[in-house]
């Protein structure tokens, strides 16, 4: 037994009133000096027993009236009693699994279709006055069309229109939403119906505690709702999926060949010996290949491609693997850039090959034999650093340059502030005091740090400290396959002194350190460009870096990161904001975003940090979002996990155990719900009979009083 | 037709402290309300018939005898020997019962006794008074002298209710001491066992006394119209009390009351005793009328 208005139960205290009145009236009796005792005593004795009984009865009735009235007002619900059939309205919350695994099925029907039919059947048979909400469990739990809905036809329409394409289900959160919804209702009958295909992957042990807590919260509601699981899953688990598309290198220029890897996996228990993978770039068929995927295995389809023009490109991979279409495609949005002219300023030219300061660097940046390089390097000496040489360059590398003229310093300053990249490698010829004086300028100049004393010797060498790199230029080295920076020996280096930035000065950050803690790479932004200062030289005089394979990667990444202001990522997980950077002039203009459901949204570009950014935050749904500006169309790919591709259902025995723990009954269709519901409808609201009892007692009190004090003719 | 007795209700008279004034008021008020009293000449008693001789008053002719015998006879009266009436006044504590607003049964009884005594003296009857509770307190033998009335009234005035009622025993003791036959007037609430009372009464009847019983009731006693929890404390026996809700016992009480009155009525009828129940808010004249009708029957 529980109460819907528990506070009103306090009214039961009024039951004390009749007793108090009774006691008070007895405590201050009237006194009468009486003569006819011989008539009174036998009368009193004769009626005493009867009187006591009648009196008690009357008192009982009088106590019962306020008690039952308070009880009726508190709206008691008999949780143990079966509700009368059909007439009691129900507050129902349907938890609907809208993940893409629900699309699985055969030509006749799909899990999604069966689930929607089940919900329609259940809602259609709810008693009049019931209310229902549908909570979607996937892609950020939300309620379909508001909280409590009475218009089931409309609710069904909305459900019909719903596409099941979410990735992952959040059962615990959905249950909490259900508990909150049911906590608000005033109906005594409450039900939770969970419609899902019950994939094993969604009912793992990791989130079991959260689920258990959510079930407990549901069960702790004043009126415990009945729980039903509608299992629309099927036995078959055959499913192959394309998991991701990646492109390497990540910074790619037009005309540079790139490798496109399409990761595929077979989550089912049947082999896919002949899986066709198709590649489309910008909507054009660009290749196809075959994969053999044994059951439970993953593989990669590898394509090469050369983008013919710079700008945004969309790479889509698809397969004809199976009926579950949602995971048969994957995509990648690539921003192809133009080649980057780089000016290498050689401060220590050499007469022999590879003895010059920039020789190794020029080699590293040089186009590969197949023509695929991002960079167009050009070497000049210190005097060659002229406005003409600098025209069109995206980055400048100062390699062991002794010092520069004031005009050159001004030139570089303007270059960086306009968005150019500057990389400074010291060396034996560097005049540290001039650098600290003219280039550092107390933190206002180009240098991100001052050059301290020279450290290291042939006996006393250092290595780059192994760490996880956050900077995009070094992030590649987090994967050891791309090279190992820590192998190279640094024999000599400047100790770089990074001072805390003064007010208004740009902050310098240390990208990498040596083992002894000295900074190895320091970067700071200046205007729209950036400056990177290394602690050691870029040739083999001070270190063995050029002899290590990682040198090429490091130099290319450093140069690219200095030269390019990387655009915000275009391949993001679901829910992350989609940000497009536009020229500053575009601030205030409208950008149209088309989401995967082909719905149009409009965002306004805002001025930010000398550029305009258009940000769209509704990327809950995986798929391709396209930003349309007057000049171009930029695709964004919102990726999702592929857990839903593992269609295998929970083992029946485990499902039973889980259902038992949650106090749920498992059915497989909506039709079964009615009969199940009839059999276990508990929670009968009993205020009506209690109220009738109060009225009856009022009459009984009146009658009793009349009867007890009745006057018979003497 | 309005009568002066309507204005002589006990409620209106209770402030008159002087019994003789009150008694006169009651009795004269009573008689003034009657037209041509049929009771005139009660104190003369028929003795014999004698043959008519001329000169006799014609109004003394007995026409009934003439009708039967065709001769004239004169009814001859003799001056009546005084009627001996003894008023027995119950002065037990139970007579002290009064309802909340009024006066006690004893108060009523005293005034009734005074009125009766006055009336009797008016008619040249001899009147005696006995006051008693568990035993006889005072015995004033009947006399017809007018001065005797004052003695009786004085006794009545200083009489106060006290003690228990033992009507049966007292009356039984009293019966032998009333030698000459006469009228016994008992003024009491008769709160004693009815059988005992009747047995005592029958002894008076045995002594050829006429007995009239004025049984006094307070209205509260016959209606028992109390409400709310009440403690009824016995007037006669201190310490004896009943704590109850009157509404709940009323029924049984009324039944007991009816039974008690019925027993008494039947017993009195059997013994040819006149039982006159009086409620203390009834006019004294009612009692006087009852008495006079009794006297009429005796005549």
Lowest mean pLDDT among A285-294, A381-390, B97-106, B269-278: B97-106
Over residues B112-125, mean pLDDT: 82
Query: What are the pLDDT digits (tens) for B179-226?
Result: 777 888 899 988 888 888 888 888 888 888 888 899 999 888 888 888
* Residue A713, pLDDT score: 42
Q: Do A37 and B236 touch (CB under 8 A)?
A: yes
Q: Is the pLDDT of residue B5 over 60?
A: no
Q: How confident is the model at residue A521 (pLDDT cuts 50, 70, 90)?
A: very high
Query: What are the pLDDT digits (tens) for B127-167?
Result: 899 998 888 888 888 887 878 888 888 888 888 888 887 88
Pairing relationship of beta strands A421-425 and A529-534 according to DSSP bridges: parallel
Contact B125, B86 (CB under 8 A): no
- Return d(Cα A130, Cα A136) in angstroms, integer: 20
Closest-CA residue in chain A for B194?
A: A38
Q: Is the pLDDT of residue A29 over 90?
A: no
User: Does A43 contact B at CB distance below 8 Å?
Assistant: yes
Averaged confidence pLDDT in chain A = 85
Q: Which residues contact A281 (CB under 8 A, 6 or more apart)?
A: A305, A307, A313, A314, A315, A316
Q: Do A44 and B236 touch (CB under 8 A)?
A: no
Q: Is the pLDDT of residue A146 over 70?
A: no
* Residue A315, pLDDT score: 92
- If you count them, how many residues does chain B have? 299
B257 contacts in A (CB within 8 Å)? 36, 39, 714
> Which ipTM did the prediction report?
0.75
E strand or H helix at B293: helix B284-298
- Return d(Cα A20, Cα A633) in angstroms, integer: 84
* Residue B229, pLDDT score: 80
Probe site for chain B from A21, A23, A31, A33 (most B CB atoms < 10 A):
A33
Query: What are the pLDDT digits (tens) for A398-437?
Result: 999 998 999 999 999 999 988 899 999 999 899 999 999 9
End-to-end CA distance of chain A: 52
Assign A42 to helix, strand or coil. helix
User: What ranges make up the beta strands (E) of A115-161?
Assistant: 131-136, 142-149
Q: Is the pLDDT of residue A494 over 90?
A: yes
* Residue A395, pLDDT score: 92
* Residue B42, pLDDT score: 39
Dmax over Cα atoms in chain B, in whole Å? 81
B94 contacts in A (CB within 8 Å)? 35-36
Pairing relationship of beta strands A257-266 and A240-248 according to DSSP bridges: antiparallel
* Residue A534, pLDDT score: 94
Q: Do B229 and A31 touch (CB under 8 A)?
A: no
Closest-CA residue in chain A for B262?
A: A714
Over residues B286-295, mean pLDDT: 76
Contact A574, A638 (CB under 8 A): yes
Q: Is the pLDDT of residue A714 over 60?
A: no
Backbone dihedral angles phi then psi of residue A145, each to the nearest 5 degrees = 60, 55
B97 contacts in A (CB within 8 Å)? 33-36
Q: Is the pLDDT of residue A459 over 90?
A: no
Question: Between residues B179 and B107, which one has the greater pLDDT?
Answer: B107
Question: Is the C-alpha dihedral spanning A489, A495, A501, A504 positive or negative?
Answer: negative
Q: Do B231 and A39 touch (CB under 8 A)?
A: no
Dmax over Cα atoms in chain A, in whole Å? 149
User: Does A46 contact B at CB distance below 8 Å?
Assistant: yes
User: Does A368 contact B at CB distance below 8 Å?
Assistant: no
Distance from CA of A215 to the nearest CA of B (A): 59
* Residue B36, pLDDT score: 37
- Return d(Cα A667, Cα A682) in angstroms, integer: 18
Q: Which residues contact A631 (CB under 8 A, 6 or more apart)?
A: none
E strand or H helix at A180: helix A171-184
End-to-end CA distance of chain B: 29
Closest-CA residue in chain A for B106?
A: A35
User: Does A679 contact B at CB distance below 8 Å?
Assistant: no
Query: What are the pLDDT digits (tens) for A626-637?
Result: 999 888 889 999
A29 contacts in B (CB within 8 Å)? 228-231, 243
Over residues A470-475, mean pLDDT: 84
* Residue B271, pLDDT score: 85
Q: Is the pLDDT of residue A80 over 70?
A: no
What residues form DSSP beta bridges with A600? A594
Assign A129 to helix, strand or coil. coil
Q: Which residues contact A208 (CB under 8 A, 6 or more apart)?
A: none
Q: Do A709 and B255 touch (CB under 8 A)?
A: no
- Return d(Cα B223, Cα B11) in angstroms, integer: 19
Over residues A41-67, mean pLDDT: 81
CB-closest option in A34, A39, A46 to B260 = A39
Alpha carbon B238 to its chain's center: 29
Of residues A397, A396, A398, A341, the one with CA closest to residue A374: A341
Query: What are the pLDDT digits (tens) for B17-35?
Result: 566 666 666 666 666 654 4
């Amino acid at each position: 037994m529980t109460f819907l208005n528990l506070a009103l139960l306090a009214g039961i205290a009024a039951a004390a009133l009749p007793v108090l009145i009774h006691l008070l009236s007895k405590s201050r009796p009237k006194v009468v000096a009486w003569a006819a005792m011989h008539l009174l005593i036998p009368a009193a004795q004769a009626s005493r027993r009867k009187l006591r009984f009648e009196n008690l009865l009357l008192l009982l009735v009088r106590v019962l009236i306020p008690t039952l009235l308070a009880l009726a007002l508190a709206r008691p619900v008999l949780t143990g009693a079966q509700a009368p059939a059909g007439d009691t309205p129900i507050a129902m919350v349907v938890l609907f699994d809208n993940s893409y695994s629900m699309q699985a099925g055969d030509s006749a029907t799909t899990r999604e279709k069966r689930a929607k039919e089940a919900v329609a059947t259940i809602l259609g048979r709810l008693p009049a006055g019931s209310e229902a909400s549908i909570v979607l469990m996937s892609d950020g739990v939300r309620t379909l069309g508001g909280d409590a809905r009475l218009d089931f036809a409309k609710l069904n329409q909305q459900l019909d229109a719903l596409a099941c394409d979410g990735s992952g289900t959040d059962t615990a959160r959905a249950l909490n939403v259900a508990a909150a919804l049911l906590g608000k209702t005033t109906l005594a009958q409450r039900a939770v119906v969970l419609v899902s295909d019950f994939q094993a992957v969604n009912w793992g042990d990791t989130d079991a505690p959260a689920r258990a807590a959510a079930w407990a919260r549901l069960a702790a509601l004043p009126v415990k709702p009945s729980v039903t699981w509608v299992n629309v899953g099927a036995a078959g688990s055959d499913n192959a999926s394309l998991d991701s598309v990646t492109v390497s290198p990540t910074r790619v220029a037009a005309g540079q060949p790139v490798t496109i890897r399409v990761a595929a996996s077979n989550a089912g228990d049947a082999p896919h010996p002949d899986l066709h993978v198709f590649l489309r770039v910008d909507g054009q068929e660009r290749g196809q290949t075959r994969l053999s995927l044994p059951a439970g295995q993953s593989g990669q389809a590898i394509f090469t491609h050369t983008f013919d023009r710079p700008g945004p490109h969309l790479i889509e991979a698809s397969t004809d693997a199976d009926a579950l279409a949602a995971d048969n495609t994957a995509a990648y949005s690539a921003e192809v850039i133009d080649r980057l002219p780089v000016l290498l300023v050689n401060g220590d030219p050499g007469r022999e090959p590879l003895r010059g300061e920039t020789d190794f660097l020029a080699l590293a940046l040089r186009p590969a034999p197949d023509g695929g390089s991002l960079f167009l390097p050009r070497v000049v000496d210190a005097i060659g650093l002229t406005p003409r040489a600098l025209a069109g360059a995206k980055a400048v590398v100062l390699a062991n340059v002794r010092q520069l003229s004031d005009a050159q310093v001004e030139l570089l300053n303007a270059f960086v502030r306009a968005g150019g990249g500057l990389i400074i490698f010291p060396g034996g010829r560097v005049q540290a005091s001039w650098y600290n004086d003219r280039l550092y300028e107390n933190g206002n100049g180009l240098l991100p740090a001052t050059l301290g004393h020279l450290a290291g010797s042939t006996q006393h060498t250092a290595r780059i400290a192994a760490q996880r790199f956050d900077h995009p230029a070094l992030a590649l080295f987090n994967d050891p396959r791309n090279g190992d920076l820590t192998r190279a020996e640094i024999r000599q280096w400047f100790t770089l002194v990074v001072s805390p930035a003064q007010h208004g000065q740009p902050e310098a950050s240390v990208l990498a350190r040596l083992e002894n803690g000295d900074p190895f790479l320091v970067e700071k932004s200046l205007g729209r460009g950036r400056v990177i200062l290394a602690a050691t030289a870029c040739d083999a005089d001070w270190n063995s870096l050029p002899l290590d394979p990682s040198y090429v990667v490091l130099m290319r990444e450093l140069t690219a990161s200095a030269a390019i202001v990387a655009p915000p990522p275009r391949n993001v997980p679901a829910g992350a904001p989609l940000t497009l950077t536009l020229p500053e002039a575009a601030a205030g203009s409208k950008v149209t975003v088309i989401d995967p459901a082909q719905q149009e949204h409009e965002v306004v570009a805002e001025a930010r940090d000398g550029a305009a950014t258009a940000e769209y935050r509704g990327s809950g749904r995986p798929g391709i979002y396209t930003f349309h500006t007057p000049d171009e169309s930029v695709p964004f790919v919102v990726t999702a996990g592929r857990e839903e591709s593992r269609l295998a259902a929970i083992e029946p025995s485990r499902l039973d155990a889980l259902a038992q723990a949650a106090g749920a009954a498992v059915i497989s269709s909506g039709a079964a719900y009615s009969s199940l519901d009839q059999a276990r409808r508990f929670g009968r609201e009993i205020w009506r009979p209690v109220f009738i009892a109060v009225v009856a007692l009022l009459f009984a009190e009146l009658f009793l009083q009349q009867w007890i004090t009745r006057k018979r003719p003497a | 037709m309005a009568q002066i007795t309507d204005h002589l209700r006990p409620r209106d008279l209770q402030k008159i402290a002087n019994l003789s004034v009150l008694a006169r008021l009651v009795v004269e008020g009573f008689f003034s309300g009657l037209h041509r009293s049929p009771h005139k000449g009660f104190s003369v008693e028929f003795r014999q018939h004698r043959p008519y001789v001329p000169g006799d008053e014609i109004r003394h002719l007995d026409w009934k005898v003439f009708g039967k015998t065709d001769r004239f006879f004169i009814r001859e009266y003799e001056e009546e020997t005084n009627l001996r009436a003894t008023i027995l006044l119950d002065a037990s504590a139970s007579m002290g019962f009064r309802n909340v607003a009024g006066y006690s049964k004893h108060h009523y009884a005293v005034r009734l006794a005074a009125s009766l005594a006055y009336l009797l003296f008016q008619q040249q009857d001899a009147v005696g008074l006995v006051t008693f509770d568990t035993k006889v307190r005072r015995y004033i033998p009947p006399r017809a002298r007018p001065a005797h009335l004052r003695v009786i009234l004085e006794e009545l005035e200083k009489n106060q209710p006290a003690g228990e009622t033992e009507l049966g025993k007292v009356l039984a003791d009293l019966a032998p001491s009333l030698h000459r036959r006469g009228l016994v007037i008992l003024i009491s609430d008769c709160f004693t066992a009815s059988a005992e009372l009747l047995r005592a009464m029958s002894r008076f009847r045995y002594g050829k006394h006429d007995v009239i019983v004025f049984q006094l009731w307070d209205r509260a006693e016959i209606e028992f119209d109390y409400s709310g929890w009440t403690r009824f404390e016995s007037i006669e026996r201190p310490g004896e009390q009943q704590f109850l809700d009157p509404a709940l016992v009323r029924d049984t009480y009324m039944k007991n009351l009816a039974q008690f009155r019925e027993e008494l009525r039947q017993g009195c009828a059997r013994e040819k005793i006149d039982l006159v129940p009086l409620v203390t808010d009834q006019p004294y004249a009612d009692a006087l009328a009852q008495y006079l009708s009794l006297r009429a029957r005796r005549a």
